[in-house]
Each structure stands twice: as C-alpha cells, then as structure tokens.
C-alpha cells in the first residue's frame, strides 16, 4: 500500500516536472507570439479592397493578360517573362532584361503578396498594382508602346480577348481598354498571396515554427529589423534610407547605373528632391529565402550575406554567424506555396498581332 502510494507520488512528481517544463516552453512561445502579433499580421484571403474588388471573371482575364506577350512592341514582353512561376514570381537575374534586350536598372521583386505593400517599385513611384500594370504598357523598357492607344490597338487585334473583357466589365460600350487591362491584372495580382508557416504561427499554432526559426524571430524583433520590416508583408509599409551607417555600395558592391547616370538614389530618381536621396521602399520579406539575388540591384547573391549587410548598414551591428543563421531560419518560415492559379501558364486566345 505504502509502496504503491510512493510510486504514485513519484509518478505524479515526474508528471508535474514534465508538465512544468511544458508550461515554461509554452510561456516562452506565448510571449513570443504576443510580441509578434503586435508587429505582424497573418495574410488575408486576398488583397481586394472596396475600391479594388475582385471577381472570378476579372481574375481569369487578368491571369491570361499577365502571360500575354502580343501587347509588347517586340512581341516578347509579358509580366510572366520577368515574374516567372518557376522563380516565385521573379526572374532570378540580378537585373531584368526587357524590351529589345535593354537591361533594366533594378532587380525584379516578386509579384506574390505585393498588392499588400503600401506602394509599388523600390522607389514607390506607383501607388498600387493597377497603376503599375497600366504604366508598364508605355514603358520603353517593358511593353514599349508609344502611348495607350497603341497598346489598346494591339490588345483589340487579338479577337479572343473581347468576350473575356465583356464578361469582366459588363455593360461597357468599349471594354477593351488599357485601364481595364490594369484592373484585370491588378485583380489577379490581388489573389497571389502565399500563406506560410509564419501565418500559422501568428494564428496561434506555435509549433508551426521550429526552435531555430523562433530564436530568429526573437532576434529579428530584438535587434530591430522589425522596426522597418513589419506588418502583413513583413515590410512594404514605409520608406527608409538604405545605408544609414555608411554608403550602401561599400557593403553591397553595387555598381553605378547608366540610366541613372551614377548611383541608384531610390526615390530621388523620380522626385528629384534632395531629402529623397537613397530612400527606398523597405521591401517586403515574404518568400525572401526563395527570391535571390537581393536588394534593388540584385548586388548580393546569398540571403545570409544580405542579412549581415542589413545588420551593419541599417543597425550598425556586426551580427554573429549564429544570429545570421537564426534570422535566416525565421525568414525561411515566410516561404509560402506558389498559388495554383500562378503555377501553370493558362492557354491564351489565338489570333491577332504577329510576332516580329
Ligand atoms: C522586363 C521585365 C519586366 C516586365 C516585362 C514586367 N516587370 Fe514587373 N518589375 C520588373 C522590375 C525590374 C521591377 C522593379 C522596378 C523598380 O522597383 O523600379 C518590377 C516591379 C514590379 C512590381 C512592384 C513590386 C514591388 O515589390 O514593389 C509589380 C507589382 C510588378 N512589377 C508587376 C508587373 C506586371 C503586372 C507586369 C505586366 C503588366 C510586369 N510587372 C512586367 C520587371 C518586369
Ligand atoms: C532602417 C530600416 C531597416 C532596418 C532596420 C532593416 N532593414 Fe532590411 N531593408 C530596408 C530597406 C530600405 C530595404 C530595401 C533596400 C534595397 O533593396 O535597396 C531592405 C531590404 C532587405 C532585404 C532584401 C530584400 C530583397 O528582396 O532584396 C533583406 C533580406 C532585409 N532587408 C533583411 C533585414 C534584416 C534581417 C534586418 C535586421 C538585421 C533588416 N533588414 C533591418 C530597411 C531596413
């Protein structure tokens, strides 16, 4: 009897001990979760807004147009040429090659989750994904059309699109327009969200991140990365100077850019205001582990090096190898799944503009 009691006591003490350590682990996890929830948000189902609604017809049309090359002057440019399914919505080049072989001044960011950023492009010179898609039509580096009328003529020369435009924009006398092109592509982009383990963590499943990723999250917040990279896209919510402690090219090895006649000065390239020199959009970090190379000019090839550069340039800190490895493990938890409506290129209507 006594022996049995002792055994029970030992067993329950053991159970209590184990239970106690689980509680301690849970406490640490819950504390981290609380800190993370104050800074980040899980992805919504899509990035539509009351002003930018999405319908299945808009998205289907936008998906086709995204991969359409016949609206460009060299017959080769499409969003999908530079934002490719196989590279998580990038082209994996340091700098993209555009119309008639022209090299673009900047590295291509992913189109995934980009509609959730507060502006588009490294210099933030596009207010949203719709304006971005519209202006690409007349950019000499992208679609190369001399004006919107020329782009619309190319679009109207592919008869198969007309019924799709009519369904997506019912009741319009002439729905095949540049503006509707941008609304359809924008609607499609607003569906390209990639839920990741970090979203499951934020939803309360603390086991969704491994121990090293949790340490990395703790450091990402504690060191100060999250001061700039926060919100639903872990970035994309503000502008900041790139190179707070020294000139960025000292650490990135960036070269001068012909088109800019020197250094890429970020927002200054568009605004020409001195206070905008070297101010860039704080890039979103969703899918960053699978979208090398890094920074506005693709000057850094590997993620651990990009993290080290950020620590030194933005926070004046020499991160240890352990810090870098932990932060990279956290950044890997931001890798989501390629959306099904992006993984395969849709079949496009036949006819129209001839390739040159
Ligand atoms: C020739 C290559 C090329 C083509 C074609 C192209 N893009 Fe891009 N895209 C880029 C590059 C390079 C940037 C970065 C430009 C910058 O930041 O100044 C970019 C930036 C973007 C951004 C902003 C992302 C961010 O993080 O700020 C979006 C959105 C985008 N492109 C969507 C599209 C869509 C939609 C199309 C088709 C209508 C398209 N792109 C066609 C190369 C291309
Ligand atoms: C003061 C604001 C600020 C802080 C702090 C900051 N960043 Fe950044 N981060 C930026 C800006 C701005 C960019 C875009 C720079 C560019 O591409 O030219 C950027 C870009 C990046 C990129 C490259 C993204 C890409 O797709 O090319 C990574 C990775 C990154 N940051 C990680 C971190 C990490 C990790 C920390 C903490 C050690 C950190 N950042 C701290 C502002 C900041």
- Report if residue 266 sits inside a domain: yes
**Whole-number pLDDT of residue 129:** 98
* 8 Å CB contact between 280 and 235: no
**Whole-number pLDDT of residue 286:** 98
* 8 Å CB contact between 102 and 143: no
Residue 198: how many CA atoms within 13 Å on its side-chain side?
A: 29
| Alpha-carbon gap, residue 336 to 185, rounded angstroms | 21
**Considering every ligand atom, which ligand is closest to the CA of 287?**
2
Residues in the chain: 356
| Alpha-carbon gap, residue 23 to 331, rounded angstroms | 27
* 8 Å CB contact between 232 and 40: yes
Query: Closest Cα to atom 36, ligand 2: which residue?
Result: 225
Same domain membership, residue 180 and residue 256: no
CATH code of the domain covering residue 289: 1.10.760.10
Same domain membership, residue 326 and residue 273: yes
* 8 Å CB contact between 338 and 88: yes
**Whole-number pLDDT of residue 24:** 65
Same domain membership, residue 260 and residue 142: no
Number of Cβ within a 10 Å radius of residue 171: 6
Same domain membership, residue 295 and residue 260: yes
Q: Is 114 in the pocket of ligand 1 (CB under 6 A)?
A: yes
Best of 90, 228, 318 for a ligand 2 pocket test (most atoms within 8 Å of beta carbon)? 228
Report the number of distinct structural domains present in the chain.
Answer: 2
Same domain membership, residue 213 and residue 184: no
Same domain membership, residue 104 and residue 74: yes
Query: Closest Cα to atom 36, ligand 1: which residue?
Result: 79
Report how far ligand 2's centroid is from the alpha carbon of 310 (Å).
Answer: 6
- Report if residue 4 sits inside a domain: no
Report how far ligand 1's centroid is from the alpha carbon of 232 (Å).
Answer: 21
**Considering every ligand atom, which ligand is closest to the CA of 185?**
1
In terms of residue numbers, what domain contains 82?
56-193+339-343
- Report if residue 350 sits inside a domain: no
Report how far ligand 2's centroid is from the alpha carbon of 282 (Å).
Answer: 6
- Pick from 62, 69, 49: which is nearest to 167 by CA? 62
Q: Is 330 left (phi over 0), alpha (psi -120 to 50) or beta?
A: alpha
Enumerate residue ranges in the chain where pLDDT < 70. Answer: 1-24, 351-356
pLDDT digits (tens, 9 = 90+) for 303-337: 999 999 999 999 999 999 999 999 999 999 999 99
Same domain membership, residue 175 and residue 112: yes
Same domain membership, residue 201 and residue 292: yes
Query: Closest Cα to atom 2, ligand 2: which residue?
Result: 228
Same domain membership, residue 237 and residue 181: no
| Alpha-carbon gap, residue 58 to 56, rounded angstroms | 6
**Considering every ligand atom, which ligand is closest to the CA of 181?**
1
* pTM greater than 0.85 (yes/no): yes
| Torsion sign, CA atoms 247, 273, 258, 86 | positive
**Considering every ligand atom, which ligand is closest to the CA of 188?**
1
- Report if residue 80 sits inside a domain: yes
pLDDT digits (tens, 9 = 90+) for 28-63: 999 999 999 999 999 999 999 999 999 999 999 999
- Report if residue 5 sits inside a domain: no
| Alpha-carbon gap, residue 295 to 158, rounded angstroms | 38
- Report if residue 34 sits inside a domain: no
- Report if residue 20 sits inside a domain: no
CA gyration radius, the chain: 24
Number of Cβ within a 10 Å radius of residue 211: 10
- Report if residue 66 sits inside a domain: yes
Same domain membership, residue 223 and residue 146: no
Same domain membership, residue 201 and residue 158: no
Same domain membership, residue 201 and residue 160: no
Q: How far is CA 3 from CA 11, 12, 13, 14, 156, in A?
A: 12, 14, 15, 16, 90
Q: How far is CA 221 from the centre of its chain?
A: 20
Ligand 2 environment, Cβ below 6 A: 122, 223-225, 227-229, 240, 242, 244, 280, 282-283, 285, 288, 291, 294-296, 306-307, 310-311, 314-315, 327
């Amino acid at each position: 009897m006594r022996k049995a009691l002792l055994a029970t006591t030992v067993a329950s003490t053991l159970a209590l001990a184990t239970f106690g350590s689980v509680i301690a682990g849970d406490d640490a996890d819950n504390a981290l979760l609380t800190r993370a929830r104050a800074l980040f948000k899980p992805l919504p189902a899509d990035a539509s807004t009351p002003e930018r609604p999405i319908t299945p017809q808009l998205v289907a049309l936008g998906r086709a147009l995204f991969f359409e090359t016949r609206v460009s002057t060299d017959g080769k440019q499409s969003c999908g040429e530079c934002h490719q399914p196989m590279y998580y919505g990038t082209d994996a080049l340091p700098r993209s090659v555009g119309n008639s072989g022209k090299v673009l001044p900047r590295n291509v960011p992913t189109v995934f989750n980009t509609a959730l950023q507060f502006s588009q492009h490294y210099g933030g010179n596009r207010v949203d994904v719709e304006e971005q898609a519209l202006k690409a039509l007349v950019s000499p580096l992208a679609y190369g059309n001399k004006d919107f009328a020329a782009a619309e003529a190319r679009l109207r020369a592919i008869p198969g699109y007309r019924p799709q435009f009519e369904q997506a924009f019912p009741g319009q006398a002439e729905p095949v327009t540049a503006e509707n092109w941008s609304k359809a592509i924008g609607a499609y982009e607003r569906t390209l969200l990639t839920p990741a383990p970090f979203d499951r963590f934020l939803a309360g499943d603390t086991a969704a991140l491994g121990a090293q990723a949790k340490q990395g999250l703790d450091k990402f917040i504690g060191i100060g990365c999250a001061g700039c990279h926060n919100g639903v896209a872990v970035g994309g919510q503000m502008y900041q100077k790139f190179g707070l402690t020294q000139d960025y090219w000292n650490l990135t090895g960036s070269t001068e850019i012909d088109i800019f006649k020197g250094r890429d000065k970020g927002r200054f390239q568009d605004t020409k205001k001195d206070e905008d020199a070297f101010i860039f959009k704080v890039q979103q970090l969703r899918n960053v582990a699978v979208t090398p190379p890094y920074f506005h000019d693709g000057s850094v090839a590997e993620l651990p090096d990009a993290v080290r550069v950020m620590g030194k340039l933005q926070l004046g800190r020499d991160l240890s190898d352990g810090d870098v490895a932990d932060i990279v493990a956290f950044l890997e938890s931001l890798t989501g799944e390629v959306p099904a409506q992006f993984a395969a290129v849709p079949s496009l209507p036949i006819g129209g503009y001839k390739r040159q």
